[in-house]
Amino acid sequence: MSASLAPRPTPSDVQAWRDAFSRLKPSVPPCPGISASAWPPMHEAALDALDRHGAALVEHGWTAPELFGVHPTIGTVRVDFCGAFVLGGRKVETVLADRINFGLMTYYRNVPGAGVGIPIWDFRW
């Protein structure tokens, strides 16, 4: 079999999330509802979470919209569409199957009535 026909490995979910999220500039808020001062710590904390807790996120089946979701037309203005990493810029302490703990704040998965957002890197102004 020639090298060109060999199957290419696909990136892990964590690497795919990191690659997509890293394309967002830490100096430019990517959607409505995030201030210029709030975005840099949010950006840093999300990358930190992927580095430190990526394996647990995948193990527990977290998805891009659950982690990075925003409303498709008004961004974080609709917090019921927001993912865990776009709600405050705090660093993740623990990842469980049903929640992510940020110390004084906890993001719960599968909250009744919550919408499903799009990943923040797919938001278009």
Structural domain contains residue 20? no
42 occurs within a structural domain: yes
Structural domain of residue 78, as residue ranges? 36-122
Report if residue 17 sits inside a domain.
no
Single-letter amino acid code for the residue at 10? T
Asked if the structure places residue 91 within a domain, the reply is yes
Q: Is 42 a residue whose pLDDT tops 60? A: yes
14 close to 20: Cβ distance less than 8 angstroms: no
101-117 pLDDT, tens digit per residue, is: 999 999 999 999 999 99
Model-level pTM?
0.90
DSSP-based three-state secondary structure for 108: strand
Residue 14 located in a structural domain: no
- Residue 2 in any domain: the answer is no
**Does 26 map to a domain?**
no
Tell me how many domains the chain contains: 1
| Mean pLDDT (the chain, rounded) | 93
Residue at 93 is within a domain:
yes
Which pLDDT band, with edges at 50, 70 and 90, does 74 fall under? very high
pLDDT band per the 50, 70, 90 thresholds, residue 3? low
